[in-house]
Amino acid sequence: MRGVGLDAEQVARFEKFAAGERPWRLVYSAREAEHLTAQPQTARAFCAAFCCKEAFYKALGEFYSFPEFECLYRPGVPEQEFILAPDLKERQAIEEFGVRIDERFLGERGEFVVEVYLTRRPAPRVGFPASYLETLQVAAVEAGRQRIEEEHFLPAEVAAFGKRRAQSIAGALALKRALVRLWAAAGAVPAAPRDFELGHHASGAPRLVAAPAGVALENVFISISHTRQWAYGLAAEGR
């Protein structure tokens, strides 16, 4: 594993493209925009593609030009088509990647959730690593913020939050819950959210600083995303 990326977006943000507004040229290639516009649910198509690009950026851990990653999304198709520009593949030494488009929250929340898994070398088989996704309602976290911070976070983590919005706390707690599930599945020492300490890389991406014994930290890959109303945390184990 090289990295994982998680992104969630509200379909409503992309309704303007269904209404005829020109797609963002710094995000979508001309071919991609034409394909997405032609889909029966245009807003969903543009939303799914954007999620894929953003999640890929998080997995890569470096900036890239979004049109270099094309998602030719089609609703109801189990195997979606993704195209990486040859220059991007060569520049970043990308061997293989997997994309999981999660549509289960569309009906209830109107949100797409996408996971991207990036490997350092060709994978021996098709599939995804063991991974766990957790989600929390931002409003619930905001209402009980003080109690949640005291119960589930260390003093250093709370200090780092400062006056950050409730989405940040919700995303961090969702991630901690995903880590609890990962540790349990690995048969490691029973853990609670407070047993995991989170920090940040210089880029702002979440970093697992400390955790109970049982799973090597270098084999744990994490990512966070949130919309206005919901937060998502992803934890995966890879080698």
Domain ranges of the chain: 3-127, 132-237
User: Which of 71-75, 201-205, 220-224 is predicted with the least confidence, judged by mean pLDDT?
Assistant: 201-205
Q: What pLDDT does residue 238 have?
A: 87
**Phi and psi of 163, rounded to 5°?**
-105, 25
Contact 51, 43 (CB under 8 A): no
Question: Which tokens is 127 given?
Answer: 């599939």
Among 42, 55, 146, 138, which residue's Cα sits nearest to residue 98? 55
Q: What letter does residue 24 receive in the DSSP assignment? A: P
Are 3-127 and 132-237 equal in CATH topology? Answer: yes
C-alpha–C-alpha distance, residues 70 and 35, integer Å: 10
N- to C-terminal Cα distance for the chain?
Answer: 5
| Beta-carbon contacts of residue 224 (< 8 Å; ≥ 6 apart) | 6, 171, 172, 174, 175, 206, 231, 232, 233, 234
* Mean pLDDT calculated for residue range 122-141: 82
Q: 43-65, pLDDT tens digit by residue?
A: 999 999 999 999 999 999 999 99
Q: What pLDDT does residue 154 have?
A: 97
163 band by pLDDT with thresholds 50, 70 and 90? confident
Q: Which CATH class is domain 3-127?
A: alpha beta
The 3-state DSSP class for residue 19 equals: coil
124 band by pLDDT with thresholds 50, 70 and 90? very low
Q: What letter does residue 43 receive in the DSSP assignment? A: H
Q: Which CATH class is domain 132-237?
A: alpha beta
For residue 131, pLDDT over 90 is answered with yes
Mean model confidence pLDDT for the chain:
94
| Cα 188 → chain centroid | 25
C-alpha–C-alpha distance, residues 35 and 157, integer Å: 44
